[in-house]
Every structure is written in C-alpha cells, then in structure tokens.
C-alpha cells in the first residue's frame, strides 16, 4: 500500500518520512512531494493509496490537491496536516470528503494510528471488492456450466458474457447473422503437477486475449473455450495453431485442442460441447495438436480381445520372468492397436482390459498348479482417463509385471518341485505342440526323469495329464465361447475333430455339442 507525503516545508516532509518505519507497517513510502503541483503530476503514474498533505502550501492548497486527487483516484484516502490556526478549516474539509486530519504537532504514534486506520479502510474495501468479484466469478462459472456443459438452456436466459463474447462491435450485423460458434476443449501440460491449476488459469486468461470474442472456463482440469468462427476465416485451425504456439512460447507449456461441431445459435453450444468431449477422448490415440469431431466421427472400433496365440505368448513371458520381453510385448500390443485407423477409446480400453484379464487368469492357473490358491485380491486396472498411449503402455507393463513378480516370489517361498514347475508352465500357456521333451527342457530335467517324477507325484502319466488339461480347457471354451467345435478342438491342440470328440466323450461322458447344450441350458435356467 503506497503513501505520498506532500508539504512545502522540507523539515516537515523529511521528518514525517524518516521518523516512522513505514515499511514495517506494510506501507510503501513514495518520495515526498514539495508542492501540490508536483504531487498531481506524479499521482497518475505512482497511484498512491494514501495522501498526507499540508493544508496550506505555496501555490495550490492541500484542499485543492485533495479535491483533484480524489477526482483522479476516487478510492484515495486523504489525511490533512494542519496547525492550530487551521483546525476549524480542517474539520470543514473532512465534511467535504477529506478522510482525516492530524495536527502537525501530533506524536508519531498518533500519526501511525491515523495512517493505519486509513489502511484498514482500504483493506476492507479491497476485501469487499474481492468478495464481489469472487461471487461474480462463481456465478459466471455456474451459468457457463449450466448452458454449455449441462445444456440447461430453459431455466435461465442466455448469460450476458456469452452474448457479449459473441457479438463484437467490429462485426457487422450481416456477419453476426452468419457467425458460427464452436467449443474447444484444451489440455495444458508441461508444468509441475502442483502448478497444473495455475497453468490452467494462465491459459484461460490468455485464450480470451489471443482469440477475439473467446470465453474460456476451467472444468475438471481442462479448459473449455467458446470461440467464434468468422466467415472470412477459411482455416480456423491455422489461426488457432498460431494462437496456441504463442501461448506455448510464453507459458513454456504444451497445448492440445479438440474441437466440436460448429453451430449458428448459442442454444446449440451444448451440442458442440458434447461432440468436442467425444473428440477429446481421442487425445491419447492421436498425435495431432488440434483435431475435429469429424476426424473421429466414423471410427467403428478396433481390436478388443487377445487372440489365443497372444495369450499363450504372454503366459510364456510371465512364466519365464522375462521383464525385457514383457516390455516389448506390451509396446507391440499398444502400437498395433494405435495403428488401426478404426481404433476408438472404447476398443483400446477393452483390449487393454483383455490383456490384464489374461495376465490374471495366468496367475490363477499357475498358482493353483503349484497348490497355492491363497491369492491376494488383484489391484484393479483403473488407468487415468487423461492418460496418453505411452502412459497406458507403461501402466499395462507395470500391472503385468506385478502379476509376474507375485508368482515368482511365491515360487521362491518354500519347496516347489520340478513337477509343480512343469505343471505351472503348461497351465500358463498351453501350446499346441507341447511335449515331454519341451517341458523337461523348461524345468532343466531329462525327459525320462521328469516322466518318472510325474507318475510318482500325480499318479498319472505325463501324457494323460496333458490330455486331461486340454479337455478341461476345451470344456471351459465350450461354455464361454461361441467358437465351433472344430475351432475349440484346434485351439486345444487337436487337428482331428473326430478324434477330439471321441476323447472328449471318454473323459466327460458327453460329446462336445451335448456338453455345451447342457451347460448353456443350465445357465439360462437360473442355476
């Protein structure tokens, strides 16, 4: 808060400036002025909040200075300095708008008290204005959310700030009739997470400066902006790109924007917002800095499930405890999904969930195979909705790595036999060409030795165990999958569907078709 002392007597003005430690009172003391004329020439630029002036000076009087100063700065607090002879004159001045008065013989503490009272009055006015400003901002936010985000245009008239934002005086009435509006949803990044809110406010303010007629609003860590599209601007993306570049350079950040469908009427801005929201969901799938709703409108969705071979490969990687290859697998999966021109946020999310579920099924099977069913509850897969492709890839890797670590840490606790390891390996990813030699190599045993241990620990031969496991897998697929019996046979490792059917009936007492029909009937009956 700034204080200007004015007195034509050098002793008075220097004494008032030096006898009191103004800075310790939260007062910035401006260089004292020797006359009313000097003070008036400086006040427009220095803009003091408190004026302390002698009532009688050579040239203009203190009262004349106060009158002109208040005209220039209506919020100015004026304190008159007077002698005993001027006391009645000073009291009259107070009734004319001067705030307070002091005798030149006043003690320092009396001067301090008077100045602090003026400071308090100014602070209270500022606080009141701040409250009013806050209420106005909150009301603007409510109306913006009601009209643009919620689409509630019936319960209240169009907000003035939306009307004024769309009707520039420089535009002719003819142009205004054809003025299109559009919603942009912007994401700002590049500052520390703790400064993200401040960055959003900075972008919001700059948008309204660099895009004439724009009205911006912060909602859920995003900036929603209403912009106007002049009929003369054939390439608005180019204009917007220049504006974003300017803001990025000034704020040292990165900005991306999704645009909704343009509209002619302010009542349709909610529809533009709805389509912009759909487009914004693609921010993790696209590399563009600016994209339109029309760019993604016709996408039908890409891959949503893993193929059997992919699940098998994943199980093998998890069993091998190979974090490097697991990184490669997740990167290739995500890249494959992103390269599909039909990919949507929904299809990407579904396929990543399928990978997570495949990893969890692998862990359940392998833990059961070594006799350890006491699994802790899985951490839910809940990626950040604003995560980009790279972040999703890393999140998927860390989730699968956690499953892999859980299994191998359990394997290291207590004694796990070679047979248990062999069973876990087979359960983790049942390859069609599985053989005693292959599995024995995985657990570092001679095939003959593994065969003997298998019979001893399980009571069945290695071949019978593999057959039983294949049949159990086929039983599961027949219940949950619409695949043909021939397809289930092939996935289970049997190219000859007739041989598969005979084997299946030998183990279950039913043909594959009978088993599926009975299982489906049982489920639909409510059991």
| Percent of residues, the chain, with pLDDT higher than 70 | 87
Tokens 């946020």, residue located: 345
The CATH number of whichever domain residue 37 belongs to comes to 3.40.50.2300
Q: Are 475 and 510 in contact (CB under 8 A)?
A: no
State the pLDDT at residue 429.
56
State the pLDDT at residue 256.
93
**Domain presence at residue 450:** no
Tokens 């993790």, residue located: 284
Reduce the DSSP state of residue 7 to 3 states and report it. coil
Q: Secondary structure of 140-180 in the HEC alphabet?
A: HHHHHHHHHHCCCCCCCCCCHHHHHHHCCCCCCHHHHHCCE
Please name the helix (run of DSSP H) or strand (run of DSSP E) that holds residue 77, with its range, or none.
Answer: strand 77-82
Residue-wise pLDDT for 259-269, tens only, equals 999 988 888 89
Range of the domain at 465: 460-527
State the pLDDT at residue 375.
61
State the pLDDT at residue 433.
55
- Of 295, 318, 347, which marks where a domain is finished? 295
**90 or 512, which is more confident:** 512
- Are both 303 and 291 inside the same structural domain? no
Q: What average pLDDT does the segment 265-288 reach?
A: 91
What secondary structure letter does DSSP report for 75? T
Rounded Cα distance between 76 and 50, Å, is 6
- Are both 307 and 344 inside the same structural domain? yes
- Of 101, 125, 149, which marks where a domain is finished? 125
**168 or 276, which is more confident:** 276
State the pLDDT at residue 339.
93
Q: What average pLDDT does the segment 235-242 reach?
A: 79
Rounded Cα distance between 223 and 199, Å, is 10
**Domain presence at residue 209:** yes
- Are both 223 and 332 inside the same structural domain? no
Rounded Cα distance between 62 and 204, Å, is 45
**Domain presence at residue 500:** yes
Is residue 510 exposed (0-12), middle (13-18) or buried (19+ Cβ within 10 Å)? middle
Residue-wise pLDDT for 106-128, tens only, equals 888 888 888 888 888 888 888 77
- Are both 28 and 98 inside the same structural domain? yes
State the pLDDT at residue 168.
40
**Domain presence at residue 19:** yes
- Are both 225 and 259 inside the same structural domain? yes
- Of 125, 151, 184, which marks where a domain is finished? 125
State the pLDDT at residue 33.
94
State the pLDDT at residue 276.
95
Q: What is the mean pLDDT of the chain?
A: 83
Residue 521: is its pLDDT beyond 80?
no
The CATH number of whichever domain residue 179 belongs to comes to 3.30.70.270
State the pLDDT at residue 55.
86
- Are both 332 and 355 inside the same structural domain? yes
- Are both 118 and 173 inside the same structural domain? no
- Are both 42 and 84 inside the same structural domain? yes
Residue-wise pLDDT for 69-120, tens only, equals 988 998 899 998 887 666 666 666 666 667 788 888 888 888 888 888 888 8
State the pLDDT at residue 370.
66
Give the range with max mean pLDDT: 54-68, 308-322, 435-449: 54-68
What secondary structure letter does DSSP report for 379? P
Residue-wise pLDDT for 142-163, tens only, equals 888 888 898 888 887 888 777 7
**Domain presence at residue 451:** no
DSSP of 219-280:
ETTEEEEEEEE-TT-S-HHHHHHHHHHHHHHHHT-EEEEEE---BSSGGGHHHHHHHHHHHH
Rounded Cα distance between 497 and 188, Å, is 58
- Are both 166 and 285 inside the same structural domain? yes
- Are both 252 and 164 inside the same structural domain? yes
Lowest mean pLDDT among 196-200, 333-337, 427-431, 454-458: 427-431
Residue-wise pLDDT for 458-473, tens only, equals 888 988 888 888 888 8
**Among candidates 524, 525, 492, 497, which has minimal Cα distance to 513?**
497
Domain count, the chain: 4
Lowest mean pLDDT among 164-173, 379-388, 392-401: 164-173
Residue-wise pLDDT for 345-390, tens only, equals 999 999 999 999 998 888 887 777 666 666 656 677 788 777 788 8
Rounded Cα distance between 215 and 186, Å, is 13
State the pLDDT at residue 171.
44
Q: What average pLDDT does the segment 490-506 reach?
A: 88
- Are both 165 and 291 inside the same structural domain? yes
Neighbouring C-beta atoms of residue 256, cutoff 10 Å: 19
**Domain presence at residue 437:** no
Q: Please indicate, yes or no, whether the overall pTM of this predicted structure exceeds 0.75.
A: no
- Are both 40 and 107 inside the same structural domain? yes
The CATH number of whichever domain residue 500 belongs to comes to 1.10.10.60
**Domain presence at residue 377:** yes
509: phi > 0 → left, psi -120 to 50 → alpha, else beta; which?
Answer: left
Give the range with max mean pLDDT: 98-102, 229-233, 431-435: 98-102
Residue 49: is its pLDDT beyond 90?
yes
**Domain presence at residue 137:** no
Residue-wise pLDDT for 181-216, tens only, equals 899 999 998 888 777 888 888 888 888 888 878 889
């Amino acid at each position: 808060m700034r204080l200007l002392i004015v007195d034509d007597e050098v002793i008075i003005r220097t004494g008032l400036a030096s006898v009191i430690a103004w800075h310790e009172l939260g007062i910035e003391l401006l260089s004292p002025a020797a006359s009313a004329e000097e003070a008036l020439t400086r006040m427009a630029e220095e803009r003091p909040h408190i004026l302390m002036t002698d009532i009688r000076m050579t040239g203009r009087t203190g009262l004349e200075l106060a009158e002109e100063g208040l005209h220039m700065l209506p919020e100015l607090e004026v304190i008159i300095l007077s002698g005993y002879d001027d006391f009645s004159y000073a009291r009259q001045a107070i009734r004319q708008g001067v705030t307070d008065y002091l005798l030149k013989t006043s003690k320092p503490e009396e001067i301090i008290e008077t100045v602090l009272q003026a400071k308090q009055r100014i602070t209270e006015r500022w606080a009141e204005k701040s409250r009013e400003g806050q209420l106005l901002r909150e009301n603007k936010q409510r109306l913006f959310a009601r009209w643009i985000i919620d689409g509630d245009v019936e319960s209240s008239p169009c907000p003035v700030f939306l009307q004024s934002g769309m009707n520039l005086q420089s535009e002719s009435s003819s142009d205004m009739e054809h003025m299109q509006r559009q919603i942009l949803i912007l994401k700002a990044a590049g500052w520390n997470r703790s400064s993200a809110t401040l960055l959003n406010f900075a972008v919001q303010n700059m948008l309204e400066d660099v895009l004439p007629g724009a009205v911006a609003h912060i909602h859920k860590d995003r900036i929603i902006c209403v912009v106007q599209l002049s009929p003369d601007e054939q390439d608005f993306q180019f204009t917007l790109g220049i504006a974003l570049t300017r803001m990025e350079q000034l704020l040292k950040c990165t900005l991306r924007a999704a645009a909704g469908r343009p509209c002619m009427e302010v009542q349709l801005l909610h529809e533009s917002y709805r389509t912009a929201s759909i487009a914004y969901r693609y921010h993790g799938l696209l590399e563009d800095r600016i994209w339109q709703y029309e760019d993604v409108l016709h996408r039908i969705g890409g891959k949503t499930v893993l193929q059997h071979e992919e699940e098998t490969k994943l199980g093998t990687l998890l069993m091998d405890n190979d974090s490097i290859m697991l990184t490669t697998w997740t990167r290739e999966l995500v890249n494959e999904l992103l390269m599909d021109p039909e990919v949507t946020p929904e299809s990407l999310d579904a396929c990543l969930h399928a990978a997570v579920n495949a990893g969890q099924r692998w862990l359940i099977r392998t833990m059961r195979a070594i006799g350890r069913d006491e699994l802790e509850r899985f951490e839910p897969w809940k990626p950040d909705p604003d995560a980009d492709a790279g972040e999703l890839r890393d999140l998927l890797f860390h989730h699968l790595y956690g499953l892999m670590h859980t299994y191998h840490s359990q394997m290291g606790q207590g004694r796990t036999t070679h047979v248990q390891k062999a069973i876990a390996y087979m359960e983790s990813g049942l390859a069609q060409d599985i053989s005693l030699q292959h599995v024995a190599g995985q657990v570092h045993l001679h095939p003959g030795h593994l065969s003997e241990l298998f019979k001893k620990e399980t009571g069945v031969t290695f071949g019978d165990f593999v057959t039983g496991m294949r049949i159990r897998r086929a039983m599961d697929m027949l219940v949950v999958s619409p695949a043909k019996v021939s397809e289930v046979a092939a996935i289970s490792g049997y190219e000859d569907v007739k041989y598969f059917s005979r084997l299946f009936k030998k183990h279950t007492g039913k043909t594959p078709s009978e088993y599926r029909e009975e299982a489906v009937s049982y489920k639909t009956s409510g059991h």
